[in-house]
Amino acid sequence: MALWSKRKHRPRGPARLPSYVRNVNSAQCLFCPYGADLKVGDRVIAWDEKTVFGREQRERLVEITAVKVFRTNGRVVTLDFVVASEAEIARIAADSEIAPHMLLTHRIGKSTYDTKNTPMVLYFRACEPKDSVLGLVPDLDITVAGGLASKAYRRENQRGGFLDWLRGWTRRTPAASKSDRYK
């Protein structure tokens, strides 16, 4: 067997979303016209291709929060059999980087519609990988605005330490005079 044909074991990371999003920093959902094998709670990589960054591909770890079945009849879009608003359709189209009318035309009977793979919309939120420094702290949600979760965690789980020592040092009653300090 030749050396160049030998299959090498490569460690695989988390799966990726089926297609790219418009901006990994602001996207919250993705339209998957041919379905996806993802479920709520899965951690996957969201990616985009921005030409303004020199065609550099950016990636971000996200956690799937909802998976909704997409259906349309050409006039109305439903997500899990609930009629979607125009604002919701516009947000899905913007994050998926497609035109809103393309969502309305992706229906049964069109040549691009695959009846075996149901279209769906994936909703997700950004998360940190478990091997990062913030991922080592249990039950710490860094997506909470203002860092309230991290402050609450520190308050509940901190015993002693430099801050307590410093608080105790600054709360000492001042001496009446300079000569009293040296007694």
Same-domain pairing of 20 and 97: yes
Could you tell me which of 178, 22, 37, 35 has the C-alpha nearest to residue 95? 22
Q: Give the model confidence (pLDDT) of 77-133 as tens digits.
A: 999 999 999 999 999 999 988 999 989 998 888 888 888 899 999 999 988 766 555
Number of domains in the chain: 2
Same-domain pairing of 66 and 151: no
Same-domain pairing of 112 and 165: no
What amino acid occupies position 6?
K
Taking the whole predicted model, whether its pTM rises above 0.75 is answered as no
What domain range includes position 96? 13-127
Residues facing 66 on adjacent strands: 123
Same-domain pairing of 66 and 122: yes
Same-domain pairing of 101 and 161: no
Q: Is residue 104 part of a domain?
A: yes
Q: What is the CATH number of the domain that holds 26?
A: 2.30.130
Q: Give the model confidence (pLDDT) of 146-158 as tens digits.
A: 445 445 555 555 5
Q: What percent of the chain has pLDDT over 70?
A: 59
